[in-house]
A and B are shown apart, each in its own frame.
Chain A
Amino acid sequence: MTKVLSIKNAIILLNGKNRSRGYKDFLAPIFPLLDLYSDIYVVSENFLEDFSRFMETMKEVAQFLTAHKFYRINLRPLHPFSSSAHFIEIYTTLHYTLLPFMEEAYRHQNISRLMIFPVIQLKEAGDEKNLLSFLEFLRERNLVPSLYLQNFSSLSIQNLINTQKERVYIERGEGPPEEKIVRTLCCHLQCDKLLAWFNTPVRSGLPEDRTLIFSEKDQIFFVGLKNFLTGNSLDAHSGALISEIEKTFLKNYDDPLFHNLAVLPQLKETFLTNNRKREAANIFFSLGLELVKREDYAKGLDLFEEALAMPGGIDDLRAVLLSKALCHLRLHDFKSAQAGLDAVEKEDPTDAMVHYYQGQLEFGLKDYIEAIDRFKKAIEIDARQIPVGDAYYYMALSHIDILEYDDALTCLAEAEKNFSQDKLSPIFYYQGICFLGKNNLDAAYQFFQKALCSNPAQEDLSSIYLHLGICHKEKGEYLSALDDLKKAREAEEDRLDVHNLMGFCYFKLKYYDQAIACFLRAVEINPHSAIDWANLGVNVRAKGEDEKAIILFKKALGLDPTIGFAQKHLQELLEKKNR
């Protein structure tokens, strides 16, 4: 189905005295884009002056709800607190306007489809007595109030609010008042979405920023917080407004993780203030997992730490500790990874996943025998709990590292059964390595070819071509070897082993100049490569340039005095010179 926009939240910034024309016309096309259950915040600096506009908004909403009896919309007026009697009048009027919907709800044994949740803005502590009676007045009329605090702690007013049912918004950050309000609201809205996302048994991707902001003063729309903060607006008068809104929204959908992370610092405070610590811990964990999926292990680790630091506790502590260990592992902090895994293993020694990660850890530490044991144990406990294909794969690599090619081939065959078709190239490559190790050049060559034909990753191309070249070289087919090695060089120019092998093949073909060029590039890549200095010497000597060759052999032996052929060449050259 075509991807369609739906707006979860709208924020309307009212204009005070100067009423703009066409307000209703701007709003009406937005309603069909709203979620079936959505919220509209109406922000006013002076609610007395903006009241008629708010009523206009409410009438539009009511009309839409009457025509579409499967919609539910909450209106949330946000305005400064005033003890003025006018506010009592205003909310009494609003309460009466809601009555038809309350009656409908009552008759249908349901919740009202139109509700008002006032958000009362407090700039500083004080006047608690009047505020308290105003809040009580609202509560008695089912107009559940919330408080919006500007730069002061919720502690001073905690006795005023019932956090079981009511919300505390805490404004933080810099910028003009409107910007701070929109940022704070968006942060809270994201908080709600994350909570809903976390609590649902049917969980799709991370919640997106589906907020539409309308500035009455400038008659412009902003699609999402990011566009509001960067001033990227859409003209309300545009004939193609709806399609422009849709286009911008769908573009925003691309990366919900970015949005969630951007509001994270304020989310943390919001969760804590509103006593949702347990959920917060679990949400931080879930966001961390999303980062791990993107291989951003450092940031993922930070979020796992945040999750563990939340006082509310976490549902699945074992999963967090394991995920933390995985991040340490990927960041090559083996000591921390070990400590984390040992702690989980102590709690449950029969956890297959722990053994799997321990295997990964030992592999990272190059203790291949221990790694093999761990992977085996993980599979033995419960292969379904672990990425079993990966376990066999790393077990195979461990066997290769200790030259147990037959065992490695057995493991690779098992891995092959568990890998998807598009990810088989590395398996074929390592099967080739095994046959090469067993000196079965034809079989090795076939597997390297298979690896090449199985959609290999760009970064694997060079290794595959290199090993195809090695197969040819071993068979004495130096020209064919050079064909593959050139492709390996093309895929990754700065690989020393490729230049080295090319130099060797050229030497065998007696193309000394080309061989020298290859070895020169090799020592350019690694000036400490003694073998390549020695190879240079061999080729230079073959060209009859003995003096140069002596210098090169001395250089090579200075770096590594054990290179036998360099010693031999040098001795011969020196003897010849002294004769």
Chain B
Amino acid sequence: MNLLLFEINPFTPPSVPISLAYIGAYAQANGFGVKIITLGEGTPFSLRHLQTLIEEYKPGLVGFSTYQRNIFYVLGLANAIKKIAPEIKTVIGGPQATFLPSVSLAQSSIDFICREEGELAFFTIAKTLLEDSAIPLVPGCSCKLEDGRFSDGPPLIGYTNLDHLPSPYLSDGLIDFEKIDEAILLTSRGCPYQCIFCYTPNAFKQKVLFHSIERVIEEIERIVKRGIKKIWFADPSFSFRMERVDELMENILKKNFKLDIWLETRADLINTELLKKMKRAGIKQVAYGLESASEKVLSKLKKKISLDQIRKAIDLTHQQGIGVELFTQFGLPHETFEDAMTTFRFLKDNQVPIRGNSNSQQTQIYFGTELYTHHKKYGVFPFENQTPPYLSIGDQYETSCLSSGEIKKIKVIWEKESLDGGKRMVS
């Protein structure tokens, strides 16, 4: 059976579909045909393409990487696919799907909602369909019944050793090396912290799983061999185990890869020795999560980090000649306009240029976060604007401390000071 995976984002250029590639690699290793389609701004892809693709490739199952920003387009695309071939089954996965209320998709063309590890869940659905099993309940998924309601399958027993999941970079045909100049790598998954705005701890049950150093080096070796020198480590907390990162850097140095690496980590998971080694291994930028430079606001985010720790990390990183990016947000619970300006000034005071990932953004409130579940407790008031139930609060709210007008004002101030000006419509 052939499987088709879609990554659709109409607002940005297409990116390396790393999550889908993992899912595809697992299904491919288990005997399925897999094709990944990445649709971004400017991708040549028409309705005619879609028809030809469905008619010629004949997928039995189509999966979509889904998040708040693209779910509207995902549902439209799924609908179009069902019109072309009603027998095709559809599944959504990704951040938006994990905690999405099932009832919100009762009228949609979606047949399965993936709730747990995508690789296993997607493969299990495909296998069930292939075996024509009469039981629609699939572990790790919500499955649509004949009456349109969804029923949850039993929990999925996932791997504890991530190396059991085939690498997209070591599998054939999933990553087109000719078309990318930067590889995204995940050396670990999950996060043990409890930040109220983040869905990752809940999605991964606050566990962190790791790939072995050998596996990561093998992937880098393959990537480098294909002429790619830029690597983005997308782990949520890259240096959660500092001794492991030290070992990884050591191995990168031994291999003399000459890389250009970007990574994100916590400011309290770094020290001078590690940064020195990172610099030598090719780390050019480290992004830290600051969120807010107001101690009052920061302490209520359950991030368990102090401004002093962040300042120290910035200094140490700069001392090693590594660039620093800071993730910040505005519109956070308990944040006043003055608090937001404190964050803005913090970047300037610490010589962090406002561009790229250091452009601030309004807090997005997603399903699965503590902030979503207890938004009233945090003084967050969603707008009453008939948002469809498959969308979370997102940025459609004001807080007990900030009106929507003030939030807009903060956004404008950040945009005005941005060094890369944000995205422009002109050539």
A-side residues, CB < 8 A to B, are 1-2, 4-8, 31-37, 68-72, 106-111, 117, 144, 146, 163-168, 188, 191-193, 195-197, 199-204, 207-208, 210, 270-271, 274, 276, 382, 384-385
Contacts and interface: CB of A to CB of B under 8 A. Distances in A.
B76 interface: yes
A5 to B, nearest CB: 7
B52 A5 contact: no
A445 to B, nearest CB: 37
Given A108-B391, A165-B425, A166-B426, A201 B181 contact: yes
B13 interface: yes
B412 interface: no
Interface string B262-299: 00000000000000000000000000000000000000
Contacts of A34: 46-47
Nearest to B13: A200
A187 to B, nearest CB: 9
Nearest 3 pairs of A and B residues by beta carbon: A69-B76, A200-B13, A70-B76
B321 interface: no
B194 interface: no
A144 B425 contact: yes
A270 B427 CA distance: 7
Contacts of B224: 384
B405 interface: no
Contacts of A192: 427
A200 B73 contact: no
A108 B396 CA distance: 10
Contacts of B357: none
28 contacts: A1-B56, A1-B57, A2-B56, A6-B49, A8-B44, A31-B47, A32-B48, A32-B51, A33-B46, A35-B42, A37-B41, A70-B73, A70-B80, A72-B10, A106-B385, A110-B69, A144-B425, A165-B426, A167-B426, A192-B427, A195-B427, A196-B13, A201-B13, A201-B15, A202-B14, A202-B38, A202-B40, A382-B256
B387 interface: yes
A201 B232 CA distance: 12
A5 B46 contact: yes
B8 A70 contact: yes
Contact of A35 (B46, B80, B180, B385): B46
Given A2-B56, A168-B426, A207-B42, 8 more contacts: A32-B48, A35-B42, A70-B80, A107-B387, A109-B391, A111-B11, A163-B426, A199-B13
Given A6-B49, A201-B16, A201-B181, A37 B385 contact: no
B42 A196 contact: yes
Nearest to B79: A69
Most buried by A among B57, B80, B426, B427: B427
Interface string B226-241: 0000000000000000
A384 to B, nearest CB: 6
B388 A107 contact: yes
A196 B41 contact: yes
A208 to B, nearest CB: 8
B43 interface: yes
B104 to A, nearest CB: 13
Contacts of A204: 179
A37 B48 contact: no
A274 B427 contact: yes
B288 to A, nearest CB: 22
A71 B385 CA distance: 23
Contacts of A107: 385-388
A107 B387 CA distance: 5
Contact of B47 (A32, A166, A193, A196): A32
Nearest to A195: B427
A271 to B, nearest CB: 7
B16 A164 contact: no
A4 B48 contact: yes
A196 B391 CA distance: 29
A208 B39 CA distance: 17
A33 B77 CA distance: 16
B391 A37 contact: no
Nearest to B227: A384
Interface in B1-21: 8, 10-11, 13-16
Most buried by B among A36, A165, A271: A36
Contacts of A163: 424, 426
Contacts of A71: 47, 76
A533 B391 CA distance: 91
B68 interface: yes
A37 B42 contact: yes
B425 A32 contact: no
B425 A35 contact: no
Contact of A68 (B15, B76, B394, B425): B76
A384 B225 contact: yes
Contacts of B157: none
Nearest to B74: A70
A5 B256 CA distance: 44
Contact of A203 (B181, B395, B425): B181
A547 B385 CA distance: 112
Contacts of B219: none
A107 B394 CA distance: 11
Contacts of B424: 163-165
Contacts of B73: 69-70
A200 B258 CA distance: 23
A144 B425 CA distance: 9
B79 to A, nearest CB: 7
Contacts of B72: 69, 108, 110
Given A6-B48, A72-B10, A384-B225, A201 B182 contact: yes
Most buried by B among A69, A188, A271: A69
B192 interface: no
Most buried by A among B46, B48, B424: B46
B75 interface: yes
B103 interface: no
A109 B11 contact: no
A203 B44 contact: no
A193 B44 CA distance: 11
Contacts of B356: none
Given A2-B52, A202-B15, A69 B386 contact: no
Interface in B51-91: 51-53, 56-57, 68-69, 72-77, 79-80
Contacts of A33: 46-48
A109 B394 contact: yes
Contact of B180 (A1, A4, A202, A276): A202
A145 B43 CA distance: 25
B14 A200 contact: yes
A36 B43 contact: yes
A5 B45 contact: no
Nearest to A200: B13
Contacts of B258: 382, 384-385
A128 B39 CA distance: 42
B155 interface: no
A5 B258 CA distance: 41
B427 A191 contact: yes
B46 A7 contact: yes
Nearest to B81: A70
B154 interface: no
Contacts of B13: 196, 199-202
Contacts of A6: 44-46, 48-49
Contacts of B225: 384
Nearest to A271: B427
A107 B382 CA distance: 12
Most buried by B among A8, A37, A117: A37
A191 B424 CA distance: 13
A384 B225 CA distance: 7
A271 B427 CA distance: 6
A196 B12 CA distance: 9
A128 B74 CA distance: 45
Contacts of B79: 69
A388 B25 CA distance: 31
Contacts of A2: 52, 56
